[in-house]
Every structure is written in structure tokens, then in C-alpha cells.
Amino acid sequence: MDHPSKYIITTVHVDELKNSATIIAYTGFSDHYTSIDRKVCAFLHHNFGGSKVLVSRNGKKVELPVEQVREGDTIIQIFSFPSSKKRLTVADPKLAAALKKKGILSFKIRKLRSLPKDFSNDLQEAIEQVNLMMRTPSRKQERLKLGVFRANKLVEKVKEEQRKRKEGSDIIEHLMDSARQGKLNMSDIEVYVDNVVKHSSSEAMSAIANLKSSDQTYSHCIDVGVFFQTLYFKAVDDGKHKSTFQTKNQMLLGAFLHDFGKSQLPKELLDSTARFDTNSREMQLIKKHPQHGAKLLTGMSMPDSIVNMSLYHHVKMDESLNTSYPEKLSYNDSTFETKLLSVIDIYQALVGKRSYKRSWTPPQAMRYLSALAGIEYEESIWDLFLSLMGEFPVGSLVILNDDSMGFVMNVPEKDEDLLRPQVVIIRNAYGEDLEKHTLVDLQEEKDLFIKSDVSVTDVFSSQAINRFSELRIVA
């Protein structure tokens, strides 16, 4: 599916590492990084602390914090650099030379999508001229007016839909509790699905999912479902993908029920916030939920498209990853819908965790996941996900270069710069809360840009959703 964003992710050799390219991951290494010795191990711990690493250990690919790398591991990829290590992600000749000397030889980078060589200069110039002509003051105002209208509408819907998220989460919990006791009654969830499809704004529900923490099972299922609904409709509406679902209700039901197999696990396990070790007994039980789900759903004569979502949503493109399960299933048998759902599933799990120790902002989660494209999921699925979510998903809290702070309100259109969404300013550069909130269109205001993103939990603790709901947006 073709959803070109302005940027592409590509792999380059250290000699091609151009000035100021953004490095997403270090991906190619000399032999020194195969079955590493004590010296290399110490080098990695010292220089890449806080980052993640993908290693091969005892024949399995494992993702770890760099601090847990040990002698004998083979390094496959270093990624998800903390902000303190930003200098390792901005290419310059000095960094390239230092990395080459250390045997770090290729990189996954993000760069501007370029036009075919034959056309490039003339055509690029012509496109810029046309863009300039089109960006007349009246067009700029029209855009802003529409942006303000949409943003206020979103805020209004976010206010309304919070109750619906809680209702959905309660229904999923009740459904799983009943299934645990052998009772399978789908009527409540079916009525709920119908209500969401007919009367809800999935965009608003997705914004809520970006602003609130979730539990790891019930509200997680609702959040994954509404993200899926939003993104999948857009993908299908584009006309390039033909849905395998017969109805919208079926599509949403499948997404809400992707973790239905967890109903066969002890409730204490589902409600626990502990992190289980990969080899723990608990993890072995949890890893069975895709098969449990597929069995239950097949027993209820659900269509194959729904069963596939349950059975394959943890199967990774590289099936030798230790996070890929059930074993022996092939990513090729995963449907397009399941592949998209599985990226959403990981994204929501990262972002929803914000009340626990390790909190991920939506943009951080996007950066982390971009490094796993081509490993955990196909590049084309990632490209689609990125183009629909944006680098700064709706509800992200960001700081602009003039030190003002605001919420991201939209995802830039297909041909626009994904790093430049519309932002509603809530605090000025002096840290003062504003009463009226101005919408800034970063596609138009070229002097402004997003300098960094911040955690809504750090700034507003659990009040982020209320702050968002109280926005009064003006042009």
C-alpha cells in the first residue's frame, strides 16, 4: 500500500552518513560485535547507557536494555536512544569517523524522500513555486479556520467519549470474567460495538488513549480497538485496500477481542502490574492467549478474519525473536489487518503504561517503534502506521522553539511534513497558563518548530485529560 510520507527510513553505510541525518538505529557491525568480549561489552555499557539493543543470545533474538548486554552476545541493532544521548543520533563527520573506527558500519536513518534523479532539480523547483503560489494569505486563513473548527470539535468529543471508554473497558472485563466461568455471551459487546460504530468519534477515543493511562487488558483492548478503527478506516477509504471484514462492526469486534484468549488465564495474572521475566511460568501462560482466543472465537463461529487477529497478533516478521509467539506460525499467514493491529498493540502497550515506572510519550513510542520496522513488522505497514499517526500523535504535549508548550491537534496530511502538525498553545514561554488557546499551524509558521516532547504525566499528573477537555481554541 502506498502512503508516501515526506520522510523515508532507509539503511546507509557509515561512509554515506550525511550531515544532520537523523539516526534511528545502529544496524551494522564489524566482527568484534559477534560473540562480544569483555572489552566490547564495557564499551557498549559505557557509551550507550539507557538505549535498547537487539542481540542474538543462545540462538534467539532478544531485545534488552544495553546495561544487560553480556559477553558472548552478538549485537544486531542498537536503538531507542534516550534524550541524553541525542548526540549519537545526529550525523556529522566527526561522529561518523568515530563510529567507523569502532567498527559500527551501518545505520537506519530518517531522511527526506527525494524525487527520481532525472526530475529532481527542475521539478522540485516547480513544486516549490506552485506551493508558494497556493499559500496565499487567504488560503492560510482558511486552513487555520478549518483547523480551529476541527480542534474544538475534537475537544468537545473527547469530553463526551470518556464515559464510553470506561463503559467499554467494564464490558470487556465482564465478558472475560464470564468466559472464565465457561459462559459465552456476546450480546453486551455487540451492542457496545454497534453504538461505537454508529455514534462515537474514534478520533476522539484515540486521543483519549494517548492522554490517559490504561490497564494492560481491559481498557487496553478498547484503546487498541479505537486506534484500529481510526487508522483502518482511513486506509480502506483510500481505496487501496479491500477489507476482509464484511461489516464495520465485525472489524471493530475483531480488534476489541484480539486478547480475548486472556480470559482463559487466572484473573490475578491479568490484573497484575508486575513485569514477568521471559522464561517465567507466568509468561509461558500469557504466551498461550493467542491460541486460547483463536479456539474460543472459532467455537463461536467467528469469521477467519477475527480469528486471525487473535492467533497472529504476536507473530513478528522475524519469527526468531523471543517476543514472537505462538512458535512455528509464519508472519506470512498474518492478514494485513492483523499486521496493522499488531503495531497498534505494541504502541498502545507502551503509551498506556504512563502511570508506571517507565513512561513513554506518544512521540517517544513512535521513535522506538520506527527502529523495529523491518524486524518486527514490514516496512510498508510501518510506513502506513506512521503516515496515519504522525511523528507527534494527537494529544502529544510538545515544546516549541520559542519555549511555549502545547497539545498536538492533528496529523499532517499525506504530502505534508509529518514533523509539523497543528499545535494549540496552552502555556507561554514564561511557564504561564493561558486562558485562550491559540492554534498554530506549523505547516505555515516556518519560524516555529517542535523542539522536544514532554510527558503529560510529568506536567499534569493524572489531569492531562481534563486540561485537554478544557481547551478553548482560537485562531
Measure the CA–CA gap between 56 and 77, rounded to whole angstroms: 10
Q: Which stretch binds Fe ion (CB under 5 A): 44-52, 258-266, 293-301, 439-447?
A: 258-266
Shortest approach of Fe ion to residue 254 CB, angstroms? 12
Measure the CA–CA gap between 374 and 366, rounded to whole angstroms: 15
Residue whose CB is less far from Fe ion, 161 or 259:
259
Region 42-101 residues binding Fe ion, contact defined as CB under 5 A: none
Cis amide bond preceding 326, omega within 30: yes
Shortest approach of Fe ion to residue 377 CB, angstroms? 15
Shortest approach of Fe ion to residue 135 CB, angstroms? 42
Residue whose CB is less far from Fe ion, 173 or 345:
345
Q: Which stretch binds Fe ion (CB under 5 A): 191-199, 253-261, 420-428, 432-440?
A: 253-261
Measure the CA–CA gap between 345 and 340, rounded to whole angstroms: 9
Of 469, 381, 466, 473, the closest CA to residue 422 belongs to 473
Interface pick for Fe ion out of 223, 259, 337, 453 (rule CB under 5 A): 259
Residue whose CB is less far from Fe ion, 217 or 404:
217
Region 314-373 residues binding Fe ion, contact defined as CB under 5 A: 345
Contacts of residue 131, defined as CB under 8 A and 6 or more positions apart, other chains included, come to none
Shortest approach of Fe ion to residue 348 CB, angstroms? 7
Measure the CA–CA gap between 101 and 29, rounded to whole angstroms: 11
Q: Residue 175 in contact with residue 158, Cβ under 8 Å?
A: no
Shortest approach of Fe ion to residue 313 CB, angstroms? 6
Residue whose CB is less far from Fe ion, 54 or 315:
315
Of 316, 341, 326, the closest CA to residue 284 belongs to 326
Measure the CA–CA gap between 408 and 429, rounded to whole angstroms: 17
Residue whose CB is less far from Fe ion, 110 or 258:
258
Shortest approach of Fe ion to residue 205 CB, angstroms? 16
Residue whose CB is less far from Fe ion, 73 or 376:
376
Shortest approach of Fe ion to residue 250 CB, angstroms? 19
Q: Which stretch binds Fe ion (CB under 5 A): 162-170, 207-215, 259-267, 421-429?
A: 259-267
Q: Which stretch binds Fe ion (CB under 5 A): 257-265, 318-326, 390-398, 436-444?
A: 257-265
Residue 223 interacts with Fe ion (CB under 5 A): yes or no: no
DSSP notation for 11-37: EEEGGG--TTPEEEEEEEE-GGGSS--
Shortest approach of Fe ion to residue 184 CB, angstroms? 19
E strand or H helix at 379: helix 379-389
E strand or H helix at 352: helix 336-352
Measure the CA–CA gap between 7 and 105, rounded to whole angstroms: 22
Residue whose CB is less far from Fe ion, 291 or 469:
291
- Nearest-10 Cα torsion for 379, 384, 386, 388: -170
Q: Could you tell me how many residues of this chain bind Fe ion (CB under 5 A)? A: 2
DSSP notation for 191-249: HHHHHHHHH--HHHHHHHHHHS---SSHHHHHHHHHHHHHHHHHHHHTTSS--SSSSHH
Residue whose CB is less far from Fe ion, 345 or 453:
345
E strand or H helix at 42: helix 38-47
Shortest approach of Fe ion to residue 343 CB, angstroms? 11
Residue whose CB is less far from Fe ion, 106 or 348:
348
Q: Which stretch binds Fe ion (CB under 5 A): 53-61, 65-73, 256-264, 413-421?
A: 256-264
Residues that bind Fe ion (CB under 5 A): 259, 345
